[in-house]
Amino acid sequence: MNSTLETIFRRKSVRNFKEAVIDDDTLEIILRAGMAAPSAVDKRPWEFILIKEKNTLLELARSLPYAKMAEKAAAGIVVAGNTLKQWGSGDLGYWVQDCSAATENILLAVESLDLGAVWTALHPYKDRKKIVTDLLGIPEHVVPLNFIPVGIPAGNPEPKDKYNPGVIHYEKW
Ligand SMILES: Cc1cc2nc3c(=O)[nH]c(=O)nc-3n(C[C@H](O)[C@H](O)[C@H](O)COP(=O)(O)O)c2cc1C
């Protein structure tokens, strides 16, 4: 197996972190990986809000229902879609797909660096999006897709083996 496949199969959600700092160069590489993702008509409608302030991480951990792990994260990234930059609009807009591709790149980059992260959902929940939008001052045309706490993994989380031949349909359903 090559190193790309090893990273893909090793990736798992990490929800326990050691208290630690991640240096800025490493955070930049992670964001660069996000921006290397494919996007419809190469519109790159993503925006990234990098959060290192402990108080902000604590506030997000407190106010979001499924992001308690951010308490101990070294940093957090909100991946958001800029609806003015995306290809298409409304129900036919592509920002969710584009930002999801960027998110997976971020999660794989994190894994490859022996760090840990987890996708916590914001979109499509109005209440979660409002919490993050208000706290971080996100403009109206930008929609937060997720919040990704990033840190040094605590414990030994294991990846799941999800291979399921039953979901593969050969030639026809
Ligand atoms: C769209 C989406 C939303 C998710 N939301 C949350 C969340 O709010 N909180 C959380 O702890 N994990 C969340 N996850 C992570 C999933 O629970 C996790 O990916 C799944 O259990 C599979 O485990 P794995 O990532 O370790 O392979 C989300 C993942 C996706 C793709």
Going by CATH, does the domain composed of 11-154 fall within 3.50.50.60? no
pLDDT at res. 128? 98
Query: Which protein residue has the closest C-alpha to ligand 1 atom 12?
Result: 120
The residue ranges of every structural domain in the chain are 11-154
Q: Which atom of ligand 1 is nearest to the CA of 12?
A: 26
Q: Is residue 125 lining ligand 1, measured as CB closer than 6 Å?
A: no
What is the residue-level pLDDT of the chain in tens, covering all 173 positions?
999 999 999 999 999 999 999 999 999 999 999 999 999 999 999 999 999 999 999 999 999 999 999 999 999 999 999 999 999 999 899 999 999 999 999 999 999 999 999 999 999 999 999 999 999 999 999 999 999 999 999 999 999 999 999 999 999 99
For residue 67, what pLDDT is reported? 98
Q: Length of the chain in residues, anyone?
A: 173
DSSP 49-112: EEE--HHHHHHHHHHSTT-GGGGG-SEEEEEEEETTTSSS-GGG--HHHHHHHHHHHHHHHHHH
Pocket lining: 120 vs ligand 1, CB cutoff 6 Å: yes
Cα of 9 from ligand 1 centre, angstroms = 16
Report which ligand 1 atom has the smallest distance to the Cα of 15: 11
Output the pLDDT for position 60.
Answer: 98
| DSSP-derived 3-state class of residue 142 | strand
Distance CA 51, CA 61 (A): 12
For residues 38 and 42, give the distance between their C-alpha atoms in angstroms, rounded to a whole number: 7
Alpha-carbon span 160 to 95, nearest angstrom: 28
Pick the residue whose CA is nearest to atom 18 on ligand 1: 13
User: 3-class SS at 156?
Assistant: coil
Task: Tell me the CA–centroid distance for residue 64 and ligand 1, in Å.
Answer: 14
CA of residue 13 to ligand 1 center, whole Å: 7
Q: Which of 139, 107, 118 is nearest to 37 (CA)?
A: 107
22 C-alpha to ligand 1 centroid (Å): 22
pLDDT at 39: 98
pTM over 0.85: yes
Kindly give the distance from the C-alpha atom of residue 171 to the centroid of ligand 1, in angstroms, as a whole number: 31
Q: Look at residue 28 in the predicted model and tell me its pLDDT.
A: 98
